[in-house]
Structure formats: C-alpha cells, structure tokens
Structure 1
Amino acid sequence: MNRLVVFLAILALVFGLAEAKKGKGDHTPSCTTVINDLQPCFLYLMGIEKSPDEICCKGVKKLAKYAKKKKARKAICECAKSKAATFGSIDLSRVSKLPKECGVSLKLPHISPNIDCSK
C-alpha cells in the first residue's frame, strides 16, 4: 500500500503542473483532479474500509459538481477507465457505488477496462 501512496503522490506532482496551466474557465476535470479528489477513497475502493469517510465523500461531491456536463462525465469515466488497470487492487464495483455511499447524485457507469465512456 505504501507503493500506491508514493505512486499517487508522484502522479499528482507530475501532472499537477499541467493542471496549473489549464484555464480557469475549463470545467472539465483533468485526470489528475479526478485522482486527487478520489485519493482519500482508496482504502474504501480497495475493500479495506467498509464505507467511505467524510474526506472521501468531499472529493466525490467536488466531482459531482463537475459532472453536470456530459463532457466532464466522460472525462471522469475515461480517467477511471485508464487507471483501472494500473490499480489492480481496487474493487471497480465500489467506484460506481461511491456516489450513493456519499449521498451524492452522480451517475457513473460500472467502470471496467472495456467501458465505452462516450455513452
């Protein structure tokens, strides 16, 4: 699990620079934003915790604000899809359950490496 945390920290640092260069008018979250918002949820997503905690749900609520537009929902889906293979220890069925567990209205399909995020 320590390697996962180190990997996520490096990922956030590297891609954070690209995020900082984005225009503030762009309401589509970058994959870095999605990962950063969901990082507190990883213990839940890995099945270590039975339910998401308050910090996790705060990130889910941030993503829900982005996801009001189809383009943003697609970006969130594409990010989750691309990271699904990277984080093999994550229970992908829990990704789709997160919004409900956090009391948030956010439609996410069941994430899998083969999902078509354009639908």
Structure 2
Amino acid sequence: MAGSVKAVCMMVLVLMAAMASRGEAAMGCGTVVSDLTPCLPYVTNRGPLGGCCGGVKALYNAAKTTPDRQSVCNCLKTMAAAYPINLDKAAGLPGQCGVNIPYKISPSTDCSK
C-alpha cells in the first residue's frame, strides 16, 4: 500500500513538472492522474482491472477538444515513461472499457496530430 501511494505521489510530481515545462494545457495532467489512478495496479501487472473503466470513461468524456486530447496524450506519455507500465494492457484499456478512440495508444503516438 505504501508503495502504491509513493508511486502515485511520484507520478503527480512528474506530471506537474511536465506541465510546468509546457505551460498550462487545456486539460491538466492532474485530471488525467486522478481519473487513471485506479488503472495503475492493472497496467503495472499488480492487480485486476477493478474500477479503472470509470476513470477511462470519465477522461474520455472530459477530453472533448483537440487541445484537451493532445494534453491527455502528452500526460499519458509522461506517465508511461515514468512507470513500468505494461504497454499492451494500457493500449487495450479503451476497448476493455467500451470506449472507441480513433488512434493507437503507444509511446510512439504523435500527440500533436
């Protein structure tokens, strides 16, 4: 449990630093972290899918504009670089949660497009 809290705190700090370096985005990384924290056990191979889909759907519904989606994309890439995430599980989350997105979730995704 303490490891999970430490990981979440570290993720928040990394994302805040990333935001500060890019300036204020349309949708903050704090929202991304908040919505996707329930997914961490699953995408780090430490637990089941659990309540992850609620956060995935909330994030999908909140990111309506192109700048919002670009901001979410950049935050996700920062998270993926900071943690040992199972990329196959992360890429499969939208489908598992009933969310249809028109792009592939991958560290190589160009967030500017």
TM-score, length of structure 1 as denominator length: 0.70
Matches within 5 A, 1:37-76: 37-49=35-47, 52-53=49-50, 55-76=51-72
Q: Secondary structure at the match of 1:85?
A: helix
Q: Which of 73, 77, 85 is equivalent to 2:73?
A: 77
8 Å CA contact 2:32, 2:75 repeated in 1: yes
Q: Which of 101, 105, 109 is equivalent to 1:110?
A: 105
Q: Distance in 2 between matches of 1:66 and 1:106?
A: 13
How many aligned residue pairs are there?
Answer: 105
Deviations 1:53-102, CA, capped at 9 Å, x for gaps: 2x211100111112332111111110011122210x21123222111101
The structure where helix makes up a greater share of residues is: 2
Q: Distance in 2 between matches of 1:107 and 1:97?
A: 13
Report how far residue 37 of structure 1 moved. 0.8
Report how far residue 38 of structure 1 moved. 0.7
1:4 and 1:64, CA in 2 relative to 1: closer, same or farther beyond 3 A?
Answer: same
Which residue matches 2:86? 91
Q: Distance in 2 between matches of 1:42 and 1:58?
A: 13
Q: Distance in 1 between matches of 2:8 and 2:68?
A: 22
8 Å CA contact 1:46, 1:91 repeated in 2: yes
Percent identity (aligned): 35
TM-score, length of structure 2 as denominator length: 0.73
Q: RCO (CA 8 Å, sep 6+): is it higher in 1 or 2?
A: 2
